């Protein structure tokens, strides 16, 4: 399903499987001289409270390995590519991010693992809250228990 919201000016592609995964199209200005992708608060479905990015990541590295109790995030491969494995306790999906104008919306209570980073990959993250270790579940068994 593809949705375009004229008020908000972005479209969200819902990947219609069991899990609630959405790809957000980031508005861009394209020119022969190069492109600009523009992120404002209405580009994502939450108020952006924190921005961070993962970079200089060895190709063998595995990041993530946790869920968030309430924080929502949008992940963008602003350079290179990497895979995001998402689990909701029932199903599992692998999404490859490799376009700087596509954001993967990960709502709360979804387990994520990041791997297969290309050389020079940069993962930009927009988050709905400031850093709070209390918001993490870093043990998969504990995560599964929390879903019951
Ligand atoms: C996520 C993926 C995509 C901070 O102090 N402040 C921060 O804002 C963040 C994100 C991390 N940290 C500290 C906490 C740890 O001591 O940095 C250290 C490494 O963090 P973590 O092991 O959580 O890194 P990743 O790459 O596994 O996960 C991060 C985010 O934490 C997470 O929310 O979804 O990136």
Quote the pLDDT of residue 6.
41
pTM comes to 0.91
pLDDT of residue 118: 98
pLDDT at position 15, please?
57
What percent of the chain is modeled with pLDDT above 90? 82
Tell me if 48 CB under 6 Å of ligand 1.
no
Quote the pLDDT of residue 21.
78
Question: Residue 148's pLDDT is what?
Answer: 81
Asked whether the predicted pLDDT for residue 7 surpasses 70, the reply is: no
Residue of 8, 13, 66, 99 with catalytic role: 66
Residue 2's pLDDT is: 35
The residue whose CA has the least distance to atom 7 of ligand 1 is: 131
**pLDDT tens-digit map of 13-40:** 655 555 767 999 999 999 999 999 999 9
Considering the domain 2-146 in this protein, what is its CATH number?
2.60.120.10
Would you kindly state where each structural domain of the chain is located, as residue ranges?
Answer: 2-146
Q: Flag the least confident range among 9-18, 25-34, 110-119, 138-147.
A: 9-18
DSSP string, the chain: -EEEETTTTEEEEEEESSSEEEEEEPPEEEETTEEEE---GGGSSS---EEEEE-S--TT--EEEEEESS--EEEEEEES-EEEEEE-SS-EEEEEE--TTEEEEE-TT-EEEEE-PPTT-EEEEEESS---GGGEE--HHHHHHHT-
Between the CA of 133 and the centroid of ligand 1 the distance, in Å, is 9
3 pLDDT more than 50: no
Question: Is 68 considered catalytic here?
Answer: no
Average pLDDT, integer, range 38-54: 96
Q: Is 129 in the pocket of ligand 1 (CB under 6 A)?
A: no
């Amino acid at each position: 399903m593809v949705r375009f919201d004229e008020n908000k000016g972005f479209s969200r592609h819902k990947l219609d499987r069991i899990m609630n995964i959405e790809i957000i199209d980031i508005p861009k200005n394209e020119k022969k001289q190069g492109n600009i992708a523009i992120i404002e608060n209405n580009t994502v479905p939450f108020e952006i409270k924190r921005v961070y990015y993962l970079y200089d990541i060895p190709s063998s590295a595995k990041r993530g390995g946790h869920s968030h109790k309430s924080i929502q995030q949008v992940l963008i491969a602003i350079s290179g590519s990497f895979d995001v494995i998402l689990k909701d306790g029932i199903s599992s999906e692998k999404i490859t991010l490799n376009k700087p104008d596509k954001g993967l919306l990960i709502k709360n209570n979804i387990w994520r693992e990041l791997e297969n980073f290309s050389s020079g990959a940069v993962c930009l993250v927009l988050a709905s809250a400031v850093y709070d270790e209390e918001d993490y579940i870093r043990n998969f068994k504990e995560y599964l228990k929390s879903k019951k």
